[in-house]
Amino acid sequence: MSATGIRTAPPPDTEKPAYRDGNVLRWLSAYTASMVGDSIYFVALSWAATRTGSPGQAGLVLAVGSVPRAALMLGGGVIADRFGPRRVVIGSDAVRCAVILAVAVTLLVSAPGIWLLVAVALVFGVVDALFLPSVGALPPRITAPGQLGRVQGMRGVAQRVATVAAAPLGGIAVALGGPAAGFGAAGVLFAVSLVLLMAVRVRELAPDDEPGAADSAWRQLVDGLRYIRTHRVLAPLLLVAAVMELGFAGPANIGVVLLADERGWGAAGMAWIVGGFGVGAGVAALLLTVRGRLPRAGAVQAWGVIAGSVALGAIGFAPSVAVAAVAGVCVGLCTGLGGALIGALLQTTAAPAYLGRVTSVATLFTVGIAPMMYPVVGAAIGAWGIEPVFAASAALSAVGGVLGLCSRALRRAELPD
């Protein structure tokens, strides 16, 4: 038994590709079911909030969950390292399942007010702050180091599948049975994810890598941040990821919507551009899944970020939907490859005892801080127009890649064989 009390798996078969490893596939299936459940939950929550309260109250419900998610994400990383990511993932998934199914039953028998939905969003945000760092810290414990590139590629494919499948599934559930059916469908998917996660076997950490049980949570958090700050590869790699997200998030989300509206391309035009993002990212994920390892991964991820940033800026100047969609494919391909390599390098470079905290810092920028750029980008477009804001955002994103190339250690970083 490990220090976390979890029965451990035997050493992984280094000859078996991750896409043929049943343990990895169980983790991936659980992750996919959870992502689809997340999206259906959001559809059901949005519909319930719209039907229950005013537009302002509905906006409050949709926004309130992001506050505990961002505020507690670093603490979630500490908990993952302290108690073991598998235990935390299973516990948080069980809480999500119970809460969402309870809401589904409540909506069937009564008509609760808007504040119940606010409470659900808050609880979900807290649980996400525990779930996301832990699920990201599991791959090195379930497969060999040389397969982590493939695992990141497979994770990218799963994200694309979940994105395509979740919206129509959520819409159908809500259309047939209202918000209660939507919450029920999400709860069932969380239950499926929970069962699969309980079947995933993990490997034991080396004893000298274990965090000290006597250390306080605060000391472990400070220790984790110090570890990242002084690491020759992790510090510049997380800086690349953070700067890229700050430049990319606004234009890729609210910016594309405003661009399609201003140019008269409508919802269909926006869908073509966003679809281009998905196609490109899917191709990048498949490439990494098949290849498993790309040489000079540190340099490739930095150049991928720079190339994707240039393509992002080009979208703002595109004369037609077709050109914008092609640029979107380039964005998805380059930033998808760069992002997958960033994830793989994080997994292989970080010491096992720090993986939860390292993952929490990376996730904080992705789901916590970067979305705060949406209103900033929207206001900037209103003040200065589409082209300057896309150009400035793309330049900021590209700075992340340049910073990566400026780090000799990161530029020479390699994924293990």
**Rounded to whole angstroms, how far apart are CA atoms 300 and 302?**
5
Distance CA(410)–CA(140), nearest Å, equals 20
* Cα-Cα end-to-end distance for the chain: 29
Q: What are phi and psi of 352, to 5 degrees?
A: -55, -40
Distance CA 197, CA 202 (A): 10
Contact 18, 150 (CB under 8 A): yes
In a 13 Å sphere around the CA of 197, the CA atoms on its Cβ side amount to: 26
Q: Can you give the pTM of this predicted structure?
A: 0.81
Interatomic CA distance for residues 97 and 198, integer angstroms: 14
Question: In the prediction, which pLDDT does 54 show?
Answer: 67
- For the chain, residues with pLDDT lower than 50 are 1-11, 14, 207-211, 213-214
Can you give the pLDDT at residue 205?
Answer: 53
The answer to whether residues 327 and 314 touch, using CB atoms and an 8 Å cutoff, is: yes
Coil, helix or strand for 308? Answer: helix
Q: Where are the alpha helices (DSSP H) in 110-265?
A: 114-137, 139-142, 148-198, 217-230, 234-250, 256-262
The pLDDT tens digits of the residues spanning 249-258 come to 889 878 888 8
Give the residue from 37, 59, 52, 77 showing the smallest Cα distance to 374.
59
- 314 contacts: CB under 8 Å, gap ≥ 6: 327, 330
Can you give the pLDDT at residue 410?
95
pLDDT for the residue numbered 5: 40
Distance CA 135, CA 26 (A): 13
Domains of the chain, each with CATH number or no CATH = 18-203 (1.20.1250.20), 217-411 (1.20.1250.20)
Other CB atoms closer than 10 Å to residue 14's CB: what's the count?
Answer: 12
Per-residue model confidence (pLDDT) at position 297:
92
Q: Using CA atoms, how far apart are residues 220 and 354, in angstroms rounded to an integer? A: 9
